Amino acid sequence: MLRLGLIVAGLALLSVTAAARVCGRPREIQFATFRPGKVLYEPRDVVTYTCNPGYERESPGTDRGVCSTLGSWEHATLTCKRKQCPKPLPLDNGAVHGMDLTYGSMISFSCNTGYRLQGAKESACVEGRKWSTSPPVCEVVTCPPPVVPKFAQLALYSPRVGNVSNYLDVVTYQCQPNYAMFGSENATCTENGTWTAIPECRDVKCPRLTEISNGYMSFSPYRKYNYKESVVYGCNPPYALDGPRTSFCDKDGNWSQKPLCKAPCQVTTPKATVLHNGRRTRVDEISGQQIQHGDILTYFCKNKEEKCAYTVQSRCNDGNFTIPACYKKPGVFSVFSTDPSRMTPCAAESEQ
């Protein structure tokens, strides 16, 4: 009996010793998988680690783990990192968004204004260091042939292949003779593939113009006048024209500005020496002592304190002329005084 007991005790001890030497599950390595997978491992059992799809070995460490006779693991030292896809090429007329190029990351694509994306909007970095989709392209937006409104025609139009126009292409319209354009003469192909607003051509008429006082019009029969037709005005002597000589029938059905005929001025200082039309003269040497509307006479005035002369201008305004207050009419003894026009100019005059 004693011998049997010793044998049983020895077998139990061997069983306990053997159980203590079994290894549990080996440690996990990030981004890696080990084989074989079991609940318990016997001494000298080996597991081998491999990086998961999309990952690659980062260090030269061992990829093997061994269950030792002591029931502990001699762990693998392998580390894994994400694979990286090549940098995408620049997208002509567009942009690539996303800085992360590693496995599992996403990039996206967009086109500049006036271009449309043809192809995938996004792409993922997948196994094999490649992108999940082919690179897209940005195609220019096109517009169909422009509409030509009634009574109009295209003055400038250069269609591209396929009889289309590209984004930002411009066409120019013009109206038929005697028709007025309302709106811009240019239309532009937009980012939406449509043209901006096109103009309208209307038949515009103006009534006959009226005469002007103290003047006349060129031949102008009593009828309706077409857009841009014109008449020419003139003044009867000695009146002068003030304003544009020609008046046009405008697009609003009215005439452009009409001129006026304004009266000349009678100058009542015959002995005054003045500047007229760029020359020195006496007023009584001017024909009839009369100047036209808008003409300027420059008078010489005396500065007694400084013993010098300065000038003052006066303009004829529709028959009204003001003699400068500084002008002094020559008196009886004027032969003994100096004519201001022959005096030295005052300092302020010299600096001008």
Residues 244 and 294 placed together within one structural domain of the fold: no
How far apart CA 145 and CA 156 sit, in angstroms, is: 13
304 lies in the same domain as 341: yes
Domain boundary among 82, 117, 151: 82
For 317-349, the pLDDT digits (tens) are 999 999 999 998 886 655 556 788 888 999 876
- For residue 289, the model assigns a pLDDT of 95
CA distance 43 to 17: 12
Is 69 domain-assigned?
Answer: yes
| pLDDT 10s digits, 141-195 | 999 999 999 999 999 999 999 999 999 999 999 999 999 999 999 999 999 999 9
Report the 10 Å Cβ neighbour count for 334.
12
- For residues 274 and 237, membership in a common domain is answered with no
* Residue 150 in domain: yes
| 215, β-bridge pairs | 235
Q: Residues 188-240: pLDDT tens digits?
A: 999 999 999 999 999 999 999 889 999 999 888 889 999 999 999 999 999 99
- Among residues 262, 277, 294, the one where a domain terminates is 262
| Domain limits for position 30 | 23-82
Residues 240, 172: one domain?
no
Q: Judge if 119 and 177 occupy the same domain.
A: no
40 is a domain residue: yes
337 part of a folded domain:
yes
Identify whether residues 255 and 332 lie together within a single domain. no
Same domain, 147 and 181: yes
Judge contact between 295 and 276, C-beta under 8 A.
Answer: yes
- pLDDT tens, position by position, 34-57: 999 999 999 999 999 999 999 999
Tell me the two tokens of residue 342. 């022959």
Quote the distance between the C-alpha of residue 34 and its chain's center: 61
The verdict on residue 12 lying in a domain is no
Given this model, what pLDDT does residue 347 score?
83
Same domain, 153 and 197: yes
Q: Are residues 238 and 269 in the same domain?
A: no
Domains contained in the chain, number:
5
- The Cα 271–Cα 12 span in angstroms is 154
Residue 14 lies in a domain: no
User: The CATH number of the domain where 233 resides is what?
Assistant: 2.10.70.10
Residue with tokens 């999940």, as numbered in its chain: 132
Picking from 223, 245, 262, the residue at the C-terminal end of a domain is: 262
Residue 18 lies in a domain: no
Using CA atoms, how far apart are residues 254 and 224, in angstroms rounded to an integer? 11
Are 298 and 315 in a shared domain?
yes
Q: Is residue 13 one of the residues assigned to a domain?
A: no
CA angle 27, 29, 32 (to 5 degrees): 125
Q: Is the pLDDT of residue 2 over 70?
A: no
Same domain for 345 and 292 = yes
